[in-house]
Amino acid sequence: MKQIFTLIKSKYITCTLMMLTGFSLWSANAQEFLVKNEIFTVTKEENNDHDGNSLWTWTDKMNFPADWTAPTNFYDGQFMIRYRIISQAEIPGAPGTYRKTKLQFAFWQEPGGSETAGDHVLMNGPGSIETSSAAISSWWNKENKPKVDFTKVDEFWKYGIVVWDGESGCMPSTWENGQPTDCAPVLGSNYQDYFFPLQIELTVVAVAEGATFSGWNNYLIPGARPFTTNFQTEKTNEPVPATYEYKVGNSTFPGGTVGTGTTIDLTPGTTVYFHKLTDPAGTFYTLVVPSRPSAPTVGLDHANETTDIALSSVYKYAGNPGMTDYEIGNGTKPQVTPGQDAYFQFVATPASFISSVQHLDIPTRPAKPDYSFSYLTGKTVEDVPNTIEYATNASMTGALIGDFEPVNVVPGTDMYFRVRPSDIGFASEKFVLNIPAQPNEPNVSIDFANKRTSVVIASTMEYAGNVNFTSPTTGAGTYLPLTPGNDVYIRTKSTATSFASVAKFLDVPPLPATPAYGIRLCQHFDHYCGASYG
């Protein structure tokens, strides 16, 4: 229902502003008129009604003069534009931060034909309000096309706003892929997620040449908005007095809840309408409450047993869904405990609510493996697959990966085995395989007189001429003859319950050299001593 809202008179203007959910009708003697006053949301999807995808347009012109040049010249007057960003998508991965945008108002005379647009107006995320003022006659016009003919506004195809990236020269629209204004080279393939959804309040007033603009308060339904959102408390910042009533999702007044002088709870994703009891029934204030941000998407680094991303101070995390005893991120990857689920949220900021809670299901460790070894072979009894890693130290430094073969063991050196971490699971607890040391070397020495060992070499012993015991010989229960100059290694043989002993090294020396003796013959008669003969 139309309601006469206010009557404005000055030496420049005489106009009656008619309100129908927030816009005025033009009359022949008006020196200014409301072009558009609306809250809308630009999405990354195209639609048949308002374009979407970086554009938001209208086709209704019933409240405009058909000719904007005569008898009143709005074409050379001031075209007043006020933009307010209510909500905007956060920069992906950076909650509470927003990409700057540039908004531009435009008229399209016909599809593919003439078009004109005003200056870019830089916006700085939710809560930013900017205005522009210029004559339409000074606007940009499409190259190689006639100027838009403002004597035929009633025949225009459409009008509306264009959204640009505020930090580059690109336009975040799908149809611009591969074009000079494409945002993909600047922001990547998900560039639209930096901007949309983008909720805007737009107020546009055309002022005649030579006239003075009456002021924004005459158009902001019905003045400065008295109620705003406190994102930390999820209430209004301002108490709602008993002179106001309000409704959620319904702007039909009277019949709302009357204020009590306290702040009221706000539900993310709703719209609250406020009506001053002394105002006409068709007038109201609108508080668009942004939706709650989506939950974080934190994953697991199973190998390091941490989250997969570092958590900045915009994150908080806890071990329970109620988020009690939570901690705030400090730029590192928090440790996680296998089998103990974790919960994450984005904190509230001055421009966004606390997010929904992410429940991160943290699996338990897999069962630890179990291995044994053979004293006879010096290897594990079981094959070790490539899902297992093993090392000779508890920290698993320098761990090796199984290759589906038994693994060599070293007497006296314990071994550690565990299931390896993967993209979907943690490492298991470590299995410790205790490896006993070798028995001491046998008590054997050299019987030099008899050229043999000092003790009988039993069948539980073996000997060889090399330290590696290549082709060893088992003792026969007799003394082992020794050949001078040929060293011998002797050890107790391995059994099912014991390693082979440390080898006894017998350093068998060669025989000493044979001594040399001679006979000296002398002739006593002539005192001649002849040669010696051995």
Beta-carbon neighbour count of residue 185 at 10 Å?
10
pLDDT in tens, 377-413: 999 999 999 999 999 999 999 999 999 999 999 999 9
Instruction: Report pLDDT for 80.
Output: 96
| pLDDT higher than 80, residue 518 | no
| pLDDT higher than 80, residue 295 | yes
Instruction: Report pLDDT for 524.
Output: 55
| pLDDT higher than 60, residue 9 | no
Dist. CA 260–CA 240, nearest whole Å: 6
Beta-carbon neighbour count of residue 47 at 10 Å?
9
pLDDT in tens, 209-266: 999 998 886 776 544 457 888 999 999 989 999 999 999 998 888 899 999 999 999 9
Instruction: Report pLDDT for 329.
Output: 95
5-19, 65-79, 269-283: range with lowest mean pLDDT: 5-19
Instruction: Report pLDDT for 280.
Output: 72
Instruction: Report pLDDT for 223.
Output: 42
| pLDDT higher than 90, residue 164 | yes
Q: Quick check: 491 and 461 in contact, CB under 8 A?
A: yes
Quick one: 56 exposed, middle or buried, by C-beta within 10 A (0-12, 13-18, 19+)?
buried
Dist. CA 261–CA 236, nearest whole Å: 12
Q: How sure is the predictor about 525, in pLDDT bands with cuts at 50, 70 and 90?
A: low
Dist. CA 239–CA 111, nearest whole Å: 49
Q: How sure is the predictor about 18, in pLDDT bands with cuts at 50, 70 and 90?
A: very low
Share of the chain above pLDDT 70, in %: 90
Domain segments of the chain as ranges: 3-218, 229-288, 292-364, 368-432, 438-534
| pLDDT higher than 60, residue 7 | no
Instruction: Report pLDDT for 251.
Output: 83
Instruction: Report pLDDT for 190.
Output: 85
Quick one: 313 exposed, middle or buried, by C-beta within 10 A (0-12, 13-18, 19+)?
exposed
Report how far apart, in Å, the C-alpha atoms of 517 and of each of 510, 512, 513, 522, 534 are. Answer: 22, 16, 13, 17, 6
Q: Quick check: 260 and 242 in contact, CB under 8 A?
A: yes
Dist. CA 491–CA 501, nearest whole Å: 6
Q: Quick check: 121 and 114 in contact, CB under 8 A?
A: no
The answer, yes or no, to whether the previous bond of 222 is cis (omega within 30 of 0) is yes
- Taking residues 256-282, report their average pLDDT: 90
- Which amino acid type is present at position 136? I
Strand ranges in 366-477 using DSSP code E only, listed in sequence order: 373-374, 379-380, 388-391, 400-401, 415-419, 431-433, 446-447, 452-457, 461-464, 473-474
Instruction: Report pLDDT for 86.
Output: 87
Q: How sure is the predictor about 50, in pLDDT bands with cuts at 50, 70 and 90?
A: confident
pLDDT in tens, 420-452: 999 999 999 999 999 999 999 999 999 999 999
Dist. CA 84–CA 38, nearest whole Å: 11
| Residue 265, SS3 per DSSP | strand
Q: Quick check: 6 and 217 in contact, CB under 8 A?
A: no
Instruction: Report pLDDT for 29.
Output: 47
List of residues 6+ apart from 487 with CB closer than 8 A: 465, 505, 506, 507, 508
| pLDDT higher than 70, residue 269 | yes
Q: What are phi and psi of 184, to 5 degrees?
A: -55, -45
Report how far apart, in Å, the C-alpha atoms of 68 and of each of 7, 63, 125, 159, 203 are. Answer: 23, 12, 33, 14, 18
pLDDT in tens, 114-144: 999 999 999 999 888 899 999 999 999 999 9
Give the total residue count for the chain.
Answer: 534
Instruction: Locate 515 and state its tokens.
Output: 């001594």
Residue with tokens 């004559």: 135
Average pLDDT, whole number, for the chain? 87
Instruction: Report pLDDT for 73.
Output: 94
For residue 130, list its beta bridge partners: 83
| Residue 162, SS3 per DSSP | strand
Is 3.90.1690 the CATH number for 292-364? no
Of residues 11 and 65, the one with the higher pLDDT is: 65
Residue with tokens 């070798």: 438
Q: What are phi and psi of 193, to 5 degrees?
A: -70, -10
Instruction: Report pLDDT for 528.
Output: 55
Longest dimension (CA), the chain: 176
Q: How far is CA 203 from the centre of its chain?
A: 38
pLDDT in tens, 314-349: 999 999 999 999 999 999 999 999 999 999 999 998
Dist. CA 407–CA 378, nearest whole Å: 9
| pLDDT higher than 60, residue 469 | yes
Dist. CA 469–CA 476, nearest whole Å: 17
| pLDDT higher than 60, residue 15 | no
Instruction: Locate 452 and state its tokens.
Output: 């043999």
DSSP 114-137: -EEE---EEE-STT-EEEEEE-GG
